Amino acid sequence: MSPNLAGALLMMASMACFTLNDALFKMTGGALPLFQLLFLRGILASLLIGLMAWQRGAVQGTVSMHDKGLIALRSLAEVGAAYFFVTALLNMPLANVTAILQVLPLTVTLGSALFFREAVGWRRMLAICIGFVGMLLIVRPGTEGFTVWSVYALVAVLCVTVRDLSTRRLSRDVPSLLVTLSASVTVLVVSGFASLAAPWAPVTAPLAWLIAGAAVFIVGGYFFSVQVMRAGDVSFIAPFRYTGLIWALVLGWFVFGDWPQPLTLAGAAIIVATGLFTLWRERSLMRR
């Protein structure tokens, strides 16, 4: 198996795990308070990620103050992303939330140009603008299909953009698993304290299995995403992240009986097309 093929399979596995985690979370149906749900999943997820980090020696060594600040910023952005994304997920169709998140490569490219002064030509800037038009087709502000949960999904995109931009500025010698563990523990601690503000709901056996399954899948998603960085050409592998949308469409249809409206599908197609074009342009410029 070539490195690129292995990387593509790892990326698809990562997207499948993340989407299955989302589906299991959505299957809880709001039976538990949000912060209690995040806390319970975070316990198992943090333990599994911590074990992986310890086995790979990621928790050893020193980290500069500059990197510690970026890790802290990234972890806080992860907390915001978890809150807004899961809230939107529990109130919106799975495919719709996932489709909105596909705009991330465009927002990260735009953020890199605005904050890091990275060169972004007119072609990629045009693709970003068209991609945002696709996002508006999904959200449809000012129409009957618009809900406040769409705003939550957009805020989640903003938080994840901050997280990814912070990751880009980290030193290359900072272990990926250490960064992931820091974010997981931060979400665990914040959600644990926040969960004390409301009475806890009883956790039935079916809910416990759903939470445990979500924790396993999110750890699997993180693990495969770390492995992706060690296999093949990233510019070749990156487009396979959009397979997460396919998983969301399939799971949304079979598990929840949801199928997006034509405008939502058209918006998702525009976002994916512009995202692929942006990745292709970045790859072409890197080759030059």
Tokens 């705009």 correspond to what residue?
Answer: 103
pTM: 0.87
- Position 18 scores a pLDDT of 92
The vertex-229 CA angle with 132 and 218, nearest 5°, equals 70
Print the domain residue range for 93. 3-287
Which residue is listed with tokens 């490195």?
3
Q: Is the pLDDT of residue 250 over 70?
A: yes
Token pair recorded at residue 36: 């209690």
- pLDDT above 70: percentage of residues in the chain: 94
Q: Which of the given ranges, 21-35, 169-183, 267-281, has the highest pLDDT on average? A: 21-35
pLDDT, tens digit, 9 for 90 and up, residues 9-57? 888 998 999 999 999 999 998 899 999 999 999 999 999 999 988 988 8
Write 131-136 long-range contacts (CB < 8 A, 24+): 131/103, 131/106, 131/270, 131/271, 131/274, 131/275, 131/278, 132/103, 132/106, 133/267, 133/270, 134/103, 134/266, 134/267, 134/268, 134/269, 134/270, 134/271, 134/274, 135/100, 135/103, 135/267, 135/271, 136/267
| Domain tally, the chain | 1
Tokens 């705003």 correspond to: 151
